[in-house]
Every structure is written in structure tokens, then in C-alpha cells.
Amino acid sequence: MTVDLLIAEIGSTTTVVTAFDKINTEKPIVVGQGEHYTTVFEGDVTIGIERAIKEIEKKLNINLKWNKFLASSSAAGGLKMTVHGLVYDMTVKAAKEAALGAGAVLKYATAGKMRKTHLENILAIEPKLILLAGGVDYGEEETVLHNAELINELPIDVPVIYSGNCAVADEVKNILKDKKVIITENVYPKVDQLNVKPARMAIQEVFSEHIIHAPGMEKIQNMTDDEIIPTPGAVMLTTELLAEMYEDVLTVDIGGATTDVDSVTEGDPKVQKIMLAPEPISKRTVEGDMGLFVNAHNVLDMIGEEEIKKEFSDYEELKKNLSPYPKTERQEKFAAFIAKYCFTNGIRRHAGRKKHLYGPNGRQEIASGKDLTAVKHIFGTGGILTRSKFRKEIMESFLEANFPNELLPNKKVKFAYDKNYIFAALGVLSTVDKETAKKILEIDIESI
């Protein structure tokens, strides 16, 4: 059987391959899906892909061929990067939003004029990319030029994306003569105006170049028919498609290592009036300490042994047998228990909050961070939220949260999930055929 398209999602733990057909019709379909452990540590990630394809063939009893192959990846450690701006709450924050939205692994950020100690920290991190920002357009110039001079001194061969004051872009490029420089639009062109998308796209391009040279990933370029994009960035693209269909939305992706939250919403106009600083409409956060396998021990420590043993007297045994593929119902229920914490607290960390300031005119209410109060739909993806019999219990546990000063979705929010586990695949598809991606998304979404 020949299908129109295969899309592989190469994760840090598992590789998922999905076959699609009838792509250029009114009713595109999901033919089948296979999964295998990611084989990056075997030195060749295509081994895991081929085994996942064989699983599809076994399930459907077919010999599978395809016309086009696309992929996303978060394997091989992702794309480590550092960002450097002028004012932390302005350009540094905007640069961080661009990095996280693109699926990069942000390791270090500085504000203001850099010093030698900052260079030492960068060298210790060994980033694969540096993002330099600073100053609104035609505003302050001295800091970003100073930082460019220091970055040029770094004895590392990595690309530098410049997303700062456009008035000195050419000068920055001349200063960074020993580096590969990518110039994009300013991430903070005017006061209270974010512009993270151009930098985000540039980061994704660098990711595509980097990933094919990472250990175990060298052969992947020969399989794919287009650029590999970061899986987290692909899920963000799908969340933006969901926003076109459902307006204000939130996606929670609970994985083995991280809990990622993507939101697309402008927030409540009333809250926007008291907001201290602008937030991007599309925002992504990554909770690197909350996952169901690699970082499950962190989550269990946060919950506390005493609390866990109220529900799981066999806690020690369950803890020893943690796996991305639970073998018993008891193990699956334990994974769901961990997932509840990741789900609610991932959203809480993503959200902003209201505060009170006291001044000459008395008490004043202000808000900072991402306003999620207008979110109408929360979507779940990732292995446990797409496949577990406990998904409804996990997602609806959020309704038990009661934090009045946090800018969270209200109790009337609706829940749905990615029933075919294809959010990342559809994000990839949207880069080459957006309308088809939306058609498949319509049949993939299922309410709980």
C-alpha cells in the first residue's frame, strides 16, 4: 500500500510514525500509527523510525510505501541556546519567548552590558546558538554594540541571531565578523510591543541545520523530504491552528521528561488594562522538572511521600518500576497520579497573576504574566493524555485548583484531547499544507 505521507515525531524517549492518505481531498485520513523507543543512543535514529514503520505494517497487514516523508524532533538534546538583551523585563523576556516558542532549550540569559564572567558561563554551557537583542528600534545602541564585541571574542563556532535595534544591525554584523550572523526583526521594536515570530522562525531554521549533525541523527536527512522542525515548535503550530478554530486555547503536552504548555490568547480586555508588561499572544513554557518518566522522581518529591502513600501503599514498588509504557493497571493509575500534578501545575506555572501595590493613591490592582482567563478550551496531548483510560480524571483534576490571584482558565473551560496522538505531526504538516492539517485536526479532536 502506498500512502501520501508519513510523519515521524522523534522524541527523547519514543519515536511515533503516523501514515496519512488522501491528503489533497476533502476527507484526508489517518491510516495508522507505529511507535518504538527512540534509538538516538544506538547511533542511528532511523532504526527506531524503521521499527515504528514495521509496527504499522504489522497492525494493518500491509507492505507500506509513501510519497513523502516529514519529521519533527526533540531528540539529541534539542538546541541549547543563550539569550542576551538590554532590560530583563523587555528585550530579554521577548528573546526568551522566541526561544521557547521555537522549541529551543534555553540555558542562560543576561540583561544589560555583559561581562567576562558571562562569557565564562556561556563557554561552560556550550550553546549551539546565541540570540542577541537589545534596544527598541532607533533607541539605545551602546549596550548591544558592547555585547556584540564580547560575543565576537567567544572561541566557539555557533550562529548568532541578532534581533535588536534595527538602527545598528549592519554595525552588529560587522562586529561579529568571525561568526555566522542571522539578522531578524527586533523582538521588541517599540515600548510595550512584542515581535517574537521572526526570531522564532530563525531559531527553527538553525534547529533544522543542527539536528541532522547531532549524534544518532546523521541519517535522518536522507529520509526526509523537507526540513526537520523541533517537536515543541510543531505543537505550538497546531495550537495556533486550534486557535483559528476555537479562539482562545491552551494545549498541555505531558511527556516523559517535560510538561510543555502552549497558549494562544490575548486574554481578558479588563485584565489587559492592568497588565504591567505585554505578553505574546502565542506563548510556550517548558517545565523541565516535571515528566512521567525521566523526571518523575522530581514530581514525586514535590508531591511528598506522605501524600502519595495515602493513595498508594505500594509506593516504593511503583516508584522502582516507572516506565513510559506501564504494564499493569496499577502502574497506569500511578502514572495518572503523577500526570495530575504535572497538568495542573504546568498550567499554573504558565499563567500570570494579579497583585496589589500600595502607593499615594491607596491600593492598586496590577497583573503580570500570561492571562489565561479568556481560555475556553484546554487540549491534551502526549502519550498519557491521548491513550490513558484516566485522561478525563487527569484533565478534570484542574477544576479542583483554587488560586484566585492566578490568571487561570475559569471552571467552565471545556476539555478535549488529541485522540490520534498527532498534534506534532499536524504542526509539521501545516508548514506544507495548512488546510489539510486543519481538516485532519477537526476529526482528531475529541471531547472528554
CATH number at residue 57: 3.30.420.40
What does the pLDDT read at residue 42? Answer: 86
CATH number at residue 344: 3.30.420
Burial class (CB in 10 A: 0-12, 13-18, 19+), 311: exposed
> Both 203 and 219 in a single domain?
no
Range of 8's domain?
Answer: 2-76+214-223
Q: Judge residue 121's burial from the number of C-beta atoms within 10 Å of its C-beta, 0-12 exposed, 13-18 middle, 19 or more buried.
A: middle
Specify whether 93 is located in the same domain as 140.
yes
* Among 164, 188, 223, residue at a domain's last position: 223
CB atoms within 10 A of CB 435: 9
Report how far residue 78's alpha carbon sits from residue 294's, in angstroms, rounded to the nearest whole number.
15
The confidence score (pLDDT) of residue 437 equals 97
For residues 23 and 89, state if they share a domain: no
Structural contact between residues 346 and 290, judged by C-beta atoms closer than 8 angstroms: yes
Q: Are residues 295 and 349 in the same domain?
A: yes
φ and ψ of 102, to 5 deg:
-85, -10
Radius of gyration of the chain (CA): 22
Mean pLDDT by runs of 10 across the 448 residues of the chain is 95 89 94 92 90 96 96 77 92 86 84 96 95 96 97 95 97 95 96 89 84 74 87 92 97 91 97 91 90 90 94 92 87 96 97 89 90 98 94 97 94 97 96 95 96
Query: What pLDDT, on a 0 to 100 scale, did the predictor assign at position 325?
Result: 80
State whether 428 and 377 are in the same domain. yes
232: enclosing H helix or E strand: helix 231-246
Instruction: Please indicate, yes or no, whether residues 279 and 397 belong to a single structural domain of this protein.
Output: yes
pTM: 0.85
Look at the chain and report how many structural domains it folds into: 3
pLDDT at 289: 87
Q: Are residues 67 and 109 in the same domain?
A: no
Q: In what helix (H) or strand (E) does residue 101 lie, and over which residues does it extend?
A: helix 93-102
Q: Which of 223, 250, 270 is the last residue of a domain?
A: 223
Can you give the pLDDT at residue 99? 84
- In whole angstroms, give the CA distance from residue 151 to residue 126: 13
The CATH number linked to 90 is: 3.40.50.360
Do 397 and 272 fall into the same domain?
yes
413 with 322, same domain: the answer is: yes
Residues near 304 by beta carbon (within 8 Å), at least 6 away in sequence: none
Same structural domain for residues 146 and 288? no
On whether both 351 and 438 belong to a single domain, the answer is yes
Same domain, 368 and 250: yes
Question: Given 144, 175, 210, which residue is the final one in a domain?
Answer: 210
